[in-house]
Structure 1
Amino acid sequence: MLRACVIDLGVRWEQYLPLVEFAYNNSFQTSIQMAPFEALYGRRCRSPIGWLEVGERKLLGPELVQDATEKIHMIRQKMLTAQSRQKSYADNRRRDLEFQVGDHVFLKVSPTKGVMRFGKKGKLSPRYIRPFEILRSKDVASVKVLWRNHTSEEVTWEAEDEMRTKHPHLFDM
């Protein structure tokens, strides 16, 4: 929705952000079968267009708590249904990745709180680092290691289980 507004409104799109937020909060969401505003406040938003509606009931005390509890239960059920539908959709389209010798891959690096990596700290540190070439297929439980400050001629083969124990951050995927 925001992308469409940016394209349509051009460089002054941020002036219309409150209207976009209002439209989003009052748009029907398939996952919860209602608008976010209705889910949060238990009633539809009374925009100027809806002010002419008559006969809204008032909830007080225990009725309000019971109504809110019922809505929360209903929303949770609908969220579970949507989650299940999305999971089955993703599972049907998921495929295992297979790499060949000579392919280039990026190494995923998990950000560690308070640790400086690659010149950046925390959230700003890169999630993936440079492309590495796959040199050999792994049939044996060993890994080829290019140590920091060494040339490619000085690579060594190390036992994978020992490397996992000493350097678990290199294996986080």
Structure 2
Amino acid sequence: MKGDVIFGKKGKLSPMFIGPFEILEKIGTLAYRVALPPMLAGVRNVFHISMMRKYTSNLSNVLNYEPLQLTPNMSYEERPTEILGRQEKKLRNKVIQIVKVKWLNHLEEEATWKTDKDMRTRYSALFDKY
């Protein structure tokens, strides 16, 4: 299976286990039919018992999420919500101003560094606060 795409990821770091999924029915003595999400529509939903692992519940696995505002084509727009920090990046011959941007629907730990010039041209309203 080298080079194959497994569960949306290609190569060595593809996930070994995904889930958990609800078991719909037992088929024979060694197989189960599971409820897979629509993004895994190309995967057969019957699995041998050797391919499954028991799920042990853990309260740290519970995620809090906010529902996304999706467009009809099932995508959403990434928008910056605030600027968390500023820095100067010194290269050999010039200095570049960069800003740390927090994005909508992302945690503060997932903020990214972008160039000040690029962010001012795309999202000038974000800089009106300063």
TM-score, with length taken from structure 2: 0.27
Which has more helix, going by share of residues? 1
> Which protein has the larger Cα radius of gyration, Structure 1 or Structure 2?
1
> Which fold has the larger relative contact order, with Cα–Cα distance below 8 Å and residues 6 or more apart in sequence?
1
Q: TM (normalized to structure 1)? A: 0.21
More strand, by proportion: 2
